[in-house]
Amino acid sequence: MTAYDRLTARFARIATVHEASAMLSWDGAAMMPPGGAAARGDQLAVLAGLAHGLLTAPDVADDFAAASAGDDPWHSANLRLMRHAHIRATAVPADLIEAQARANSACEKIWREARRTSDFAAVAPSLAEVVNLTRQYADALGPVVGLSPYDALMDGFQRGIGAADVAPVFDAYRVFLAEALPRAEARQAARPTPTRPQGPFAPDVQEALCRRLSAAAGLEPEHSRLDRSAHPFCGGTPTDVRITTRYREDDFSQSLMGVMHETGHALYERGLPTAYARQPVGETAGMAAHESQSLIVEMQACRSDAYLSWLGPLLLESFPGDPDAYTTSNLGALWRRVERGFIRVDADEMTYPAHVILRFRLEQGLVAGDLAVADLPGAWNDGMRALLGIVPPDDARGCLQDIHWYDGAFGYFPSYTLGAMAAAQLMAAAKRDTPGLDEQLAAGDLRPLVGWLRRHVHGRGSLLGFNDLLREATGKPLDPSDFTAHLTARYLE
């Protein structure tokens, strides 16, 4: 075997360990009884340590010194990404990796109950330990990769994108929102109040419809599962994708659109290049790219008038009631309603970036040590007041609502809004390239859109960085004006 072959074999083993961790994490969120939490934390910590040990073994550096990928662009990119992973791994001691895995797992389990009871004090000590270990990790990694501590964390989710890239985009959006939101609210207030479908809506019926819509979008049941969890997510592996949602008996829209969001993530995983499975170049292009795929399905496609005209009759079939509640215009008024709300995952696409901007600011303060964990609830409330003019009545609807920080994910939140902006840009390009796309959506057929995404995003793996991927697919790097143009057309015209 050549040095490059030895590296690819090693990275395939590392990827397999990560796959095992992914399945244990899914089980912990969807199936595991509460009493298994401590043992599960140990299991995940050991697997994290094993993967780290495989990546940092002494002979790996020798193979990198000798490895050559030739002229093949995929192999060259793979070698470059392997080096990047090795550099990041060797910058951090293995005992810190295991300590983080244990702390994150323990904190996430405490968060579940703290969120339910709105008791920030119950989880604050565990979160403080997660933040402390995150700082240690970022402080060790940053100098080695030539980035600030926070940028080093961001780099782990979306390579090549740092706070200096994101801040001006977010500042410009904040200015847009301050002008656009009152206009959208006034336009909305001048229209008749939409009719809300009357429940209760049985969770089992919602689940059956969710499965039907996900399968119709192209997610194969033989390679996927749909289950329930406290926080909807997509996990698993490319050949065994696990998506989850939660159900409310008084409102089916959250589960329905949540599943279509996670289906977008799952379709991305299913469309990755199989020739490079378990290799860095065969993975997704980063979390901003991942979010673009969930949002192009949920927000761009499934909330469009074309798709809603097909969905309405299915809803009436599943949830008999007033037919006027399921017309295209009424569903559009309900599901494209602009509203200043407390919960990020329930936010409309115009106010959603404000939730991300808040978290972007706060997590930078936490990582830098400028914001103490004990002061997080107050800082959260102040930020919500400044951005949206509202203050959450309790911490469950404030700083406890997201799983991410309590599970150790810092630097991730910017990916949500970068993904929304990329989704608008990709949809504009897909419509230019695919005549009749709206007609296909009106027939409930997402295959033309998914086929375009397979060619331009999914099948490209990590061959290209975020901006280069967008440039190849759309002719330009990230252009936030496509997002604001989309919002203007949908909410202000």
Which residue numbers are catalytic? 262
Q: Assign 3-class secondary structure to the chain.
A: CCHHHHHHHHHHHHHHHHHHHHHHHHHHHHCCCHHHHHHHHHHHHHHHHHHHHHHHCHHHHHHHHHCCCCCCHHHHHHHHHHHHHHHHHHCCCHHHHHHHHHHHHHHHHHHHHHHHHCCHHHHHHHHHHHHHHHHHHHHHHHHHHCCCHHHHHHHCCCCCCCHHHHHHHHHHHHHHHHHHHHHHHHHHHCCCCCCCCCCCCCHHHHHHHHHHHHHHCCCCHHHEEEEECCCCCEEEECCEEEEEECCECCECHHHHHHHHHHHHHHHHHHCCCHHHCCCHHHCCCCHHHHHHHHHHHHHHHCCCHHHHHHHHHHHHHHCCCCHHHHCHHHHHHHHCCCCCCCCHHHCCCCCHHHHHHHHHHHHHHHHHCCCCHHHHHHHHHHHHHHHHCCCCCCHHHCCCCCCCHHHCCCCCCHHHHHHHHHHHHHHHHHHHHCCCHHHHHHCCCCHHHHHHHHHHCHHHCCCCCHHHHHHHHHCCCCCCHHHHHHHHHHHHC
